[in-house]
């Protein structure tokens, strides 16, 4: 696996500061269509914020993933009070998969009346804009990928949602209480099963509140000759304890 392909909602700015609006987008999205355009088929669908083969993987919140339900999305959009204002998708062409994902997502959003517009900049500028403190103006969804962090485990990935991060942008003083409690549990519980349960609750809450939209996982192929001993696949090749037979 190379990364979990995601878009992050800027919950410090209207209209995605409204949970109903974010949930409308979550209900709408067709993840196969997004991932196919992003990767030419080199992907796996993945509800999780970990890679599917990992011990820490959970499908908690799967009921919110890949719903492809325009009728539900329109109903939630009406409840949100959306009035047709522009919604800016912050993306870049340095990573074509991110740009293609934003292009398809904008088209899907437009299909239910959301005025989605791409804001295309280079990757360093996108990161700088997304990382600005809340309230973070000028963008509503940020396209990125979780790469090394999922490979290192659930704690590293959930660190995206604590502190100042473009992956979790509430207004100051409006942080989600469930995330805070379960983050503390992930760090403080002694029993590994309790830490895993806390991670599952965090992921469920993130998807329920549509704070991040995981599209799927980009995959990769690593070829190994038959005389290589001890090599284990990883996101970036690792050669410790590897030898020739």
pLDDT over 90 at 220, yes or no = no
N-to-C CA span, the chain = 27
Quote the pLDDT of residue 71: 98
Q: Counting Cβ atoms within 10 Å, is residue 33 exposed (0-12), middle (13-18) or buried (19+)? A: middle
Q: In a 3-state reduction of DSSP, which class is residue 43?
A: strand
pTM over 0.85? The answer is yes
Q: Nearest Cα to 11, choosing from 186, 183, 216, 173?
A: 173
- Which pairing describes strands 141-146 and 3-9: parallel, antiparallel, or unpaired? antiparallel
- Cα–Cα distance measured from residue 232 to residue 56, given in angstroms and rounded to the nearest whole number: 18
When the pLDDT of each residue in the chain is averaged and rounded to a whole number, the result is 94
Give the pLDDT score at 186: 97
pLDDT in tens, 60-103: 999 999 999 999 999 999 999 999 999 999 999 999 999 999 99
Quote the pLDDT of residue 174: 87
* Per-residue pLDDT, 53: 86
Tell me, what's the pLDDT at 228? 96
């Amino acid at each position: 696996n190379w990364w979990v392909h995601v878009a992050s909602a800027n919950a410090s700015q209207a209209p995605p500061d409204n949970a109903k609006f974010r949930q409308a987008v979550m209900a709408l999205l067709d993840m196969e269509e997004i991932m196919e355009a992003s990767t030419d088929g080199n992907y796996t669908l993945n509800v999780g914020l970990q890679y599917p083969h990992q011990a820490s993987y959970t499908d908690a919140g799967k009921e919110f993933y890949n719903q492809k339900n325009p009728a539900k999305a329109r109903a939630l959009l009406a409840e949100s009070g959306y009035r047709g204002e522009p919604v800016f998708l912050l993306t870049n062409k340095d990573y074509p998969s991110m740009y293609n994902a934003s292009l398809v997502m904008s088209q899907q959003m437009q299909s239910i009346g959301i005025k989605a517009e791409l804001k295309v900049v280079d990757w360093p500028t996108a990161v700088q804009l997304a990382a600005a403190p809340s309230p973070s103006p000028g963008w509503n969804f940020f396209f990125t990928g979780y790469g090394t962090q999922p490979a290192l485990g659930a704690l590293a990935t959930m660190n995206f949602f604590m502190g100042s991060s473009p992956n979790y942008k509430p207004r100051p003083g409006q942080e989600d209480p469930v995330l805070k409690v379960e983050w503390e549990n992930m760090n403080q519980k002694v029993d590994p099963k309790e830490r895993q349960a806390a991670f599952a609750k965090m992921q469920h809450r993130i998807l329920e509140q549509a704070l991040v939209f995981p599209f799927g996982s980009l995959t990769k192929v690593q070829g190994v000759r038959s005389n290589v001993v001890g090599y284990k696949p990883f996101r970036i090749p690792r050669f410790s304890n590897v030898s020739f037979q």
